[in-house]
Amino acid sequence: MTKPIYALVGSDSLLHQEALSAILHQLPKQTQRVDIDGETAQLADVLDELRSFALFGTGKAVVLRNADDFVSRFRSQMEDYAAAPSDSATLIMRFSSLPANQRIYKAIAKVGKIESCEPPKDLAGWIVARAPVHGAKISPDAARLLADLIGDDLGRLDSELAKLAISSQKIGPEEIAGSVPFQRERQMWDLTNALAAGNRAESLTRWRQLLQGDSSAEFRAVTWLCIWLENCRKALEMLKDGQNAFTIGQALRIWPRDLAQKFVETVKTLGPTGVSRAVDLLAQIDYQTKTGIGDAANNVERFLLSI
């Protein structure tokens, strides 16, 4: 039986889309769907749609994107609506977060349903369970490798599984390591791992090897280095909170796992001043590359030598 209100809560877009599709599938076929952006919508925009009859069909499904902003502006009114929802429309609100201790959460839970759209903690388990959707099986080791390479973006994980399944119905670590995109990502990962370990000479060697096999590396490098510096910044905050290398490595997905201690030592050596200086230099190098000042590959090399 369908509910008058649904709250889809979480950061993963794939889970949001799948939950939304499942709800819409339960509604009558002639249900009229109305999409509203919560960042710009006014209260009347939403309530009018919910309380007016559909021109065609048997009812309405009002999908409210960016519901966080909307509810923060009209919290009390939405709490009142949840207490007496329309019987001619289904409200589906999409949140990035919705704390369980808020009144609006309890109001929605009382008459409707709240569905979590957060990536599972056991990513490898999700990957193993997802592979049959694409007609394939993946080994636990391969699933863990895929999770380490990509992270918790379920949409991208699903996409990569679909690509791998085209060439092999039994996916192992070899199939993943052998694919061209992952080879390139692993090479860039090795470069930032060398930086994390404080090995400037190795990072420079890795960079030159990467350039030989991938002409686009000089344009992707800034993105990877930016991600690495953001991890450094996050690690400094976690160290300030008293967290250890193992916890930091898990949270920031430092891989392989035994690199976490070296990464933390490098972060401590850089310190807030060093990380800030590196960010400024990377921004300068990115600007120079985009405006044609100097060679892009040499600009990246200069950055590596400065760390």
Q: Of all helices (H) and strands (E), which one includes residue 134?
A: none
- Main-chain dihedrals φ then ψ at residue 250, nearest 5 degrees: -65, -45
Lowest mean pLDDT among 64-78, 134-148, 178-192: 178-192
| Side-chain-side CA neighbours of residue 135 (13 Å) | 7
Residue 215 has pLDDT above 90, yes or no: no
Span 133-145, pLDDT tens digits: 999 999 998 998 8
Name the pTM for this structure. Answer: 0.64
Q: Of all helices (H) and strands (E), which one includes residue 32?
A: strand 32-37
Residue 2 has pLDDT above 80, yes or no: yes
Read off the DSSP letter of residue 53.
P
Looking at residue 167, what is its pLDDT? 86
Domains of the chain: 5-116 (3.40.50.300), 123-178 (1.10.8.60), 181-306 (1.20.272.10)
Span 153-166, pLDDT tens digits: 899 899 989 989 99
pLDDT grade for 198, boundaries at 50, 70 and 90: confident
Q: How far apart are CA 300 and CA 306, in angstroms?
A: 10
Q: How far apart are CA 304 and CA 272, in angstroms?
A: 18
The answer to whether the CB of 115 falls within 8 A of the CB of 7 is yes
Q: How far apart are CA 198 and CA 258, in angstroms?
A: 14
Tell me the one-letter amino acid at 122.
Answer: D
Q: How far apart are CA 242 and CA 27, in angstroms?
A: 50
- Main-chain dihedrals φ then ψ at residue 211, nearest 5 degrees: -60, -35
Phi-psi category of 9—alpha, beta or left, where left has phi over 0 and alpha has psi -120 to 50? beta
